[in-house]
Amino acid sequence: MSKIGIIGAMELEVATLKKNMDTDQITKKAGMEFHEGNLKGMPVVVVQCGVGKVNAAMCVQILADLYDVTHIINTGVAGSLNPVLDIGDILVSKDAIQHDMDVTPLGYTKGQIPGLEQLAFVADEKLCKTAVEVCKKVNPDIHVTEGRVVSGDQFISSKEIKDALIAEFHPDCTEMEGASIAQAATLNNIPYVVIRAISDKADGSAQEDYPTFEKKAAEHCAKLVQEMMKEL
């Protein structure tokens, strides 16, 4: 039977899910609270991992080792790197890359992790398709598309950095956890998908846009993830 691990970096990204699930047990591990129970009839473990790639990767490993999850969904917000993606839109990951991994002096491609052949970690096709189809049903007024997520331990608010990421990786959005979740899930042979609601444009407007749209964007993502449980 499926058991879904649902990860959000910040409390607002998982608060709605925790509120609406039937919780059987809460376990604290590595500074995180793992809420185990059922959501829309599906066994789930919902957890706020904290910000950044290390927190996110640790969280996946705990979900794999202690909870034997069969799928991982990462929900949250992101900055747009695609002019077609506006604030409020939703991006479902096709794949994910760590943009701040740089071992190019040793002959690696920017973003490539030594010891691993792939540059990008490919998301699960079924999870992606389900996310897109469900989003069209529950959020019919919201534009949803599939694309590439790039992650790094920095909040992108500079046009110069944004332009460099676009030129290097041809991504659709940027955030701080998705690609490390993708890596950890891939290495554990767990199907994953990253779902991101666009909260800012990843440029100089971020300071103004982010507080305004973050909560609304997170709620849209949570609504989508919640309804996905009926289809998995």
| Residues forming a β-bridge with 90 | 144, 197
Task: Tabulate helix, strand, coil % of the chain (nearest 5).
Answer: 35, 30, 35
**Are 121 and 103 contacting, i.e. CB atoms less than 8 angstroms apart?**
no
Q: What is the mean pLDDT of the chain?
A: 93
pLDDT > 90? residue 202? no
Catalytic residues: 13, 200
Q: Which of 4, 9, 17, 6 is nearest to 219 (CA)?
A: 17
pLDDT > 90? residue 71? yes
CATH classification at residue 222:
3.40.50.1580
Would you place residue 218 in the very low, low, confident or very high pLDDT band (cuts 50, 70, 90)?
confident
pLDDT > 90? residue 81? yes
Tell me, what's the pLDDT at 223?
Answer: 87
Tell me, what's the pLDDT at 112?
Answer: 96
Tell me, what's the pLDDT at 36?
Answer: 98
Would you place residue 206 in the very low, low, confident or very high pLDDT band (cuts 50, 70, 90)?
low
114-139, pLDDT tens digit by residue?
999 899 999 999 999 999 999 999 98
Tell me, what's the pLDDT at 205?
Answer: 58
Amino acid at 120: A
**Are 91 and 145 contacting, i.e. CB atoms less than 8 angstroms apart?**
yes
- DSSP state at residue 105: G
d(CA 112, CA 114): 6
Tell me, what's the pLDDT at 96?
Answer: 98
Tell me, what's the pLDDT at 215?
Answer: 75
Q: Which domain holds residue 172?
A: 4-228
In the chain, the number of structural domains is: 1
Tell me, what's the pLDDT at 211?
Answer: 66
| Mean pLDDT of the 173-199 span | 96
Amino acid at 26: I
What is the SS3 assignment for 166?
Answer: helix
| Mean pLDDT of the 57-78 span | 97
H helix or E strand, kind and range, residue 149: strand 144-151
Q: Which of 140, 158, 141, 152 is nearest to 205 (CA)?
A: 158
154-to-5, 151, 176, 177, 226 alpha-carbon distances in Å: 25, 8, 7, 10, 28
